[in-house]
Amino acid sequence: MKRHGFILTAITIAATVIPATVITGCRTSRHAAATGIHDVSAMTLTERARDIADGYLPWTQLNLPVKVSVKSPQKLSVSGRIYMRRDRDIYVTLRVLGMEVANMYVSTDSVFAADKLHKCYIAEPIKEIFAGASLSIGDLQDALLGRVFVNNRGTYSDTMTAGIMLTDSPDGTWTLTPKSKINGTIEYQFRFSKSSNTLVSLTFNTGDRLYGCTYSDPADIDGSHFMRQFSVSTRAGNTPIDASLTYDFDKVKWEVPSSARWRTPSGYTRITPQSLAKTLSNK
């Protein structure tokens, strides 16, 4: 395996979002589609947006298996677990034959990732990783789990309808676009299937480039909606990155262990994202 392979995977999980417990009431019988319209094709755009919002029950902690598959810059498939505390942090551990080979921790202001095979790590302000974009930890969690968010305001709800635009498309999709832009300049848009009313993609438009991720395989956990697969295709410098995360919601747990925290590894070499991108570009 090439040097930095695992740390690249960890960084991919975090960095590709922009270029992206207990569920409260999760044991109740609440269901989505408060419109009363069961035929999705008969819904208006307003009803579709309300249906989406009704499927987003709040949560506080989430813990489930994840499989990371990378096609480029090198083929790699590794499994682990992802832990999230809502609006607080994200922790990912990746293992091979039961041994942890890499981990990543995202807090409200920083991103950390460690490659245990090659004893190196990254520790950077979150804005540096996400090209200066002001994304909250809640925004990142929603992007990873396939949920609509309004930047720094939280998961989309009916109280946010005045701040969004809904657009029909002739290609069998419809879009939800927040009116306010990230940092005042970055437009972002969520696209849905008209046939199923499930999230298809999230796109960021910086004015110079489009970045985005796609979603597939919806999961309904007692009336609360998530997407089982998050995929992204982008570039780190001159290096193409094609990766996906697949979550196993059939084995979800509703608490995060105290061990799911970042600890700066002793004896490891700290590297920068810039040096990593340069190394990858030279391969």
For the domain that residue 237 is a member of, what is the CATH number?
A: 2.50.20.10
Does the pLDDT value for residue 33 go beyond 90?
Answer: no
pLDDT at 6: 52
By C-alpha distance, which of 59, 16, 8, 11 is closest to 202?
16
The count of residues in the chain is 283
Mean pLDDT of 148-167: 96
pLDDT at 22: 25
- Global pTM exceeds 0.75: yes
pLDDT at 239: 72
| Burial (CB count within 10 angstroms: exposed 0-12, middle 13-18, buried 19+), residue 127 | middle
Q: Pull the structure tokens for residue 65.
A: 């298996």
283: in domain: no
Does the pLDDT value for residue 8 go beyond 60?
Answer: no
49: in domain: yes
65: in domain: yes
Mean pLDDT of 117-129: 83
How does the average pLDDT of the chain come out, rounded? 83
Domain enclosing residue 172, as ranges: 5-278
13: in domain: yes
pLDDT at 70: 84
Mean pLDDT check: name the lowest of 27-31, 43-47, 226-230: 27-31
111: in domain: yes
Mean pLDDT check: name the lowest of 48-57, 199-208, 236-245: 236-245
| 8 A C-beta contact, residue 216 and residue 227 | yes
Total domains in the chain come to 1
| 8 A C-beta contact, residue 114 and residue 7 | yes
108: in domain: yes
pLDDT at 14: 44
**Residue burial 239-276, b: 16+ Cβ < 10 Å; e: rest:** bebbbbbbbebeebebebeeebebeebeeeeebebeeb
